Structure 1
């Protein structure tokens, strides 16, 4: 049965900001979310049980307790929640996962920040960041001075499904799209996501030097997940241009 199972009832949140970290192009959403969880010492707040998620149990370092592959972490002081996913979500299951999370978003009055990578070959220029919005989410993009997209495109996977659901419900939400390495984990793009998008929107201050200083270690650590996604030939979530359809 689809549900969000809260583990720590002592955690008090008031209309929090959710940072969504399903893996996709460059694993930028996962790298950014994992980094924020570690940087802010966020606590394991809830397990996510959704139809469509792989039926697997995950175990964590120095902890014998089995847990779900998708979890929520909370920082009550910053009114921040992060969705950490250790598995890709098959595109055919994206709608089921989005529907599972919808009720919790509405019940808690959460403002979601969805993250997606747009595959671009690396060059000397820093990755560009763009924003899209549903409801009144454009107000947050304006405050954060996030640029509009320079071209038409679409967001797929669970991130795209959750954006589509937010659009249908007229929920206030934003989607951040960053240019990312299409083949390898991209800590640099994740740093741009946090510094220029997530932090200004959520009102947080997240140290990101480690994402640059430890880029090689981060790529190596995430490479196995990136390889599993390539073998599946389908990304969990990604942005892509629409020019081919126009």
Structure 2
């Protein structure tokens, strides 16, 4: 079986940057993606449901069911952003690759040339200074990351963040991944804020971080 894709309206060939924000360690990218969607008033353009998603549906406070789903939103922040948001990842290697193929296929139809994946890098505790690490598919983007203070990472990236970036060149795209250190034991909006600051610097954008700052201050994860 394959993922079921529902596209709302016609896909615009607007050369968006694909921004990945599915759940992961500390929900860092998931929190950031939702912040971008709300702050930029992004428009839902696609629903994706996969037989490889978690076999559970959530029920909200009104008694309405929320299925396991991934969604693509289109927003403008000075540049067009195609934001991948959802409440799950696929639970098998085949499912992860099939999902990434679907997403990259849609992004290519829209003229995407850059994929930016984001996530948390679990360190087990809150440190006085929490770092942001970067990975790319080529040295040009690594040099750009190092110029804005992002440290290169050595090791492994699991899940959609690693697969989507690694597969990007097969679709004619560059790929970058940003990982913010996080204790990894609770949702971490402070790490999401650090990622947003680096994301803004890297792409010369100015997406506000006010909402993230307030929640991070309340939770005690705010830096700077």
TM-score (norm 1): 0.73
- Give distance in 2, aligned partners of 1:60 and 1:20: 24
**Structure 1 residue 78, shift from structure 2 partner:** 3.5
- Give distance in 2, aligned partners of 1:2 and 1:218: 37
**Structure 1 residue 100, shift from structure 2 partner:** 2.2
Task: Kindly indicate whether the alpha-carbon contact (under 8 Å) linking 2:115 and 2:165 is maintained by their aligned counterparts in 1.
Answer: no
Task: Kindly indicate whether the alpha-carbon contact (under 8 Å) linking 1:47 and 1:67 is maintained by their aligned counterparts in 2.
Answer: no
5+ long unaligned stretches in structure 2: none
Change (3 A) 1:73 1:214: same
**Structure 1 residue 167, shift from structure 2 partner:** 5.1
Q: 2:33 — aligned with what?
A: 33
Q: 1:186 — aligned with what?
A: 188
Is the partner of 1:71 in helix, strand or coil? Answer: strand
Is the partner of 1:152 in helix, strand or coil? Answer: coil
Task: Kindly indicate whether the alpha-carbon contact (under 8 Å) linking 1:57 and 1:69 is maintained by their aligned counterparts in 2.
Answer: no
**Structure 1 residue 41, shift from structure 2 partner:** 1.0
Change (3 A) 1:192 1:18: same
Aligned 1:1-150 pairs, distance under 5 A: 1-2=2-3, 4-9=5-10, 12-54=12-54, 69-76=69-76, 78-92=79-93, 93-110=95-112, 111-135=114-138, 138=141, 141-142=144-145, 145-149=148-152
**Structure 1 residue 165, shift from structure 2 partner:** 1.6
- Give distance in 2, aligned partners of 1:19 and 1:86: 15
Residues paired across the two proteins, number: 215
Change (3 A) 1:139 1:130: closer
Task: Kindly indicate whether the alpha-carbon contact (under 8 Å) linking 2:14 and 2:110 is maintained by their aligned counterparts in 1.
Answer: yes
Kindly indicate which of the two structures has a greater share of residues assigned to helix: 1
- TM-align CA RMSD: 3.2
- Give distance in 2, aligned partners of 1:82 and 1:201: 17
Please, which of 165, 168, 176 is the counterpart of residue 167 of structure 2? 165
Task: Kindly indicate whether the alpha-carbon contact (under 8 Å) linking 1:4 and 1:104 is maintained by their aligned counterparts in 2.
Answer: no
Aligned 1:172-211 pairs, distance under 5 A: 172-196=174-198, 198-211=199-212
5+ long unaligned stretches in structure 1: 220-246
